[in-house]
Amino acid sequence: MDAPPLTRSVAARCDYFDTGRCRSCALLDQPYDAQLADKQREVEALLPAPAAGWSEPVASPPVEFRNKAKMVVGGTAAEPTLGILDAAFAGVDLRECRLHTRGLHDALPVLADFVRQADLAPYDVVQRRGELKHLLVTESPAGELMVRFVCRSQEPAARLRKHLPSLLGRLPVAVATVNLQPAHKAVLEGEREIVLTPAATLAMPLGAVTLHLRPRSFFQTNTAMATALYGEAVAWTTDLAPRSVWDLYSGVGGFALHLAAPGRAVTGVEISHEAVRSAEHSAAAAGLADVRFLPGDATTYAVNAAPEVVPDLVVVNPPRRGIGDQLAGWLEGSGVPHVLYSSCNARTLAADLAAMPSYAPLRGRLLDMFPHTRHYEVLVLLGRR
């Protein structure tokens, strides 16, 4: 797909978008600067102004920023498509999508060849037959790949093992797996993972911190914005010098590991056991003895904590629904001096802030994690009034 270079002041051109084959980038016909300005206006309309004012929004690269490709596999084993399904459940090939990093872009044709070589029949939604449902590919900042073949059954695993050396000879694949998703429903992945390579984790170096991702661990899909987000968290909290930090909804440990410091006790709490294993691996590899990660519900952990162990700083990075009334109520009455809130939904953030009137926003910044969509990340530092 030929397209001119994209600048921030000119709307992008995309043949997939223009022909209606893919409309995922709903704002693609708007100049990127205009998208960013609209998002900032929305944030300022929804949220109270921080004491220091809103920092300038962090702009993302408008193309080649997405570190993960989530490709539905359609077509046939001889002519596979990697992309999405149309209204009739036929495959629409999107391997030339400009959002993917250059490494992902270059890897997708090779992976399509590998599907042919291994004779992996794409899953036919209408006929309910075939095996390969999705290809999930993640690229690290170092250019290494994690490739996951989401299949209906374990049957293709032997063929994938047989042909894997040819794939490793063509691509820098650090981790390859088969994920089993037998259900006939729109679910991206299943609970069982068969690792085909010696390594089971993908190293994601982000400046001074390296995260180690296991196959079913969530990581922000925009590496540049994730790096900026964690960097801002460190910059905003350095002068606070907290002796203890809780990272609730800690995921793979991004905030916890970046905020680790000598003499500082850091605890991460995360519902996903797979993410906890990733975070523990990263902490151990970095030799961080004062950082621990616990599997469990963030709200339950907080409300059941003894008053004498309440930390100096709580970090929350919840899903779109926000932290909710129970955790907001606990924070309100906890005496915690500062809260760092990272939100992907300014509306639920506004509701949570209204439930915590003892806190005032000190600093705030929008980070454009998702260009060409209406979504973004917003980070606020809260302090007791």
CA distance 266 to 293: 8
Q: Is there a single domain that holds both residue 228 and residue 369?
A: yes
Q: What is the CATH number of the domain that holds 46?
A: 3.40.50.150
Q: Is there a single domain that holds both residue 87 and residue 160?
A: yes
Residue 378 lies inside a defined structural domain of this protein: yes
Residue 260 lies inside a defined structural domain of this protein: yes
Residue 15 lies inside a defined structural domain of this protein: no
For tokens 């962090």, the residue is 58
pLDDT at 186: 87
The domain boundary, picked from 177, 199, 221, lies at 199
Q: Is there a single domain that holds both residue 235 and residue 181?
A: no
Evaluate whether 41 touches 349 at the Cβ level (below 8 Å): no
Q: Mean pLDDT, to the nearest integer, of 156-183?
A: 97
Q: Is there a single domain that holds both residue 51 and residue 93?
A: no
Residue 14 lies inside a defined structural domain of this protein: no
Structure token pair of residue 9: 């002041």
Which residue type sits at 341? Y
Q: Which of 243, 263, 246 is nearest to 255 (CA)?
A: 246
The domain boundary, picked from 152, 172, 199, lies at 199
- Residue 344 appears among annotated catalytic residues: yes
Digit-coded pLDDT (tens) for 104-118: 999 999 999 999 999
Evaluate whether 213 touches 253 at the Cβ level (below 8 Å): no
Structure token pair of residue 208: 């001074």
CA 96 and chain centroid, separation: 21
Q: Is there a single domain that holds both residue 260 and residue 334?
A: yes
Q: Is there a single domain that holds both residue 218 and residue 336?
A: yes
For tokens 């809130």, the residue is 341
Q: What is the average pLDDT score of the chain?
A: 95
Residue 6 lies inside a defined structural domain of this protein: no
Structure token pair of residue 346: 């300014």
pLDDT at 3: 45
Q: Mean pLDDT, to the nearest integer, of 232-255?
A: 97
Q: Which of 147, 203, 134 is nearest to 175 (CA)?
A: 147
Residues 6+ apart with CB under 8 A from 45: none
CA distance 69 to 301: 34
Q: What is the CATH number of the domain that holds 110?
A: 2.40.50.1070
DSSP code per residue over 289-319 = TTEEEEES-HHHHHHTS-GGG--SEEEE---
Assign 286 a pLDDT band (cuts: 50, 70, 90). Answer: very high
In this predicted structure, the answer to whether residue 89 has a pLDDT above a threshold of 90 is yes
pLDDT at 215: 96
Determine the length of the chain: 385
Digit-coded pLDDT (tens) for 184-222: 988 999 999 999 999 999 999 998 899 999 999 989 999
CA distance 227 to 229: 5
E strand or H helix at 105: helix 102-117
Q: Is there a single domain that holds both residue 218 and residue 356?
A: yes
Q: Is there a single domain that holds both residue 301 and residue 271?
A: yes
Digit-coded pLDDT (tens) for 43-63: 999 999 999 999 999 999 999
Coil vs helix vs strand at 64? coil
In this predicted structure, the answer to whether residue 121 has a pLDDT above a threshold of 70 is yes
Q: Is there a single domain that holds both residue 39 and residue 156?
A: no
Q: Which of 196, 186, 189 is nearest to 162 (CA)?
A: 196
Between strands 291-295 and 265-270, the pairing is parallel
CA distance 171 to 262: 39
The domain boundary, picked from 170, 199, 228, lies at 199
Structure token pair of residue 231: 């960097």
Domain with 114, as residue range(s), is 68-199
Residues 6+ apart with CB under 8 A from 121: 76, 77, 129, 130, 131, 132
CA distance 180 to 195: 11
The residues with which 381 forms a beta bridge, in sequence order, are 340, 363
pLDDT at 28: 93
In this predicted structure, the answer to whether residue 8 has a pLDDT above a threshold of 80 is no
User: Which of the following is catalytic: 25, 97, 151, 344?
Assistant: 344
Q: Mean pLDDT, to the nearest integer, of 26-40?
A: 95
pLDDT at 1: 42
Residue 1 lies inside a defined structural domain of this protein: no
Q: Is there a single domain that holds both residue 44 and residue 122?
A: no
- Within 10 A of 9 (CB to CB), how many other CB atoms are there? 9
- Residues 328, 331, 333, CA angle at the centre, nearest 5°? 110
Q: Is there a single domain that holds both residue 167 and residue 133?
A: yes
Assign 13 a pLDDT band (cuts: 50, 70, 90). Answer: confident
Residue 102 lies inside a defined structural domain of this protein: yes
Which residue type sits at 289? A
Number of domains in the chain: 2
Which residue type sits at 135? L
CA distance 122 to 134: 8
Residue 8 lies inside a defined structural domain of this protein: no
Which residue type sits at 283? A
Coil vs helix vs strand at 142? coil
CA distance 211 to 283: 8
pLDDT at 2: 44
Q: Is there a single domain that holds both residue 227 and residue 289?
A: yes
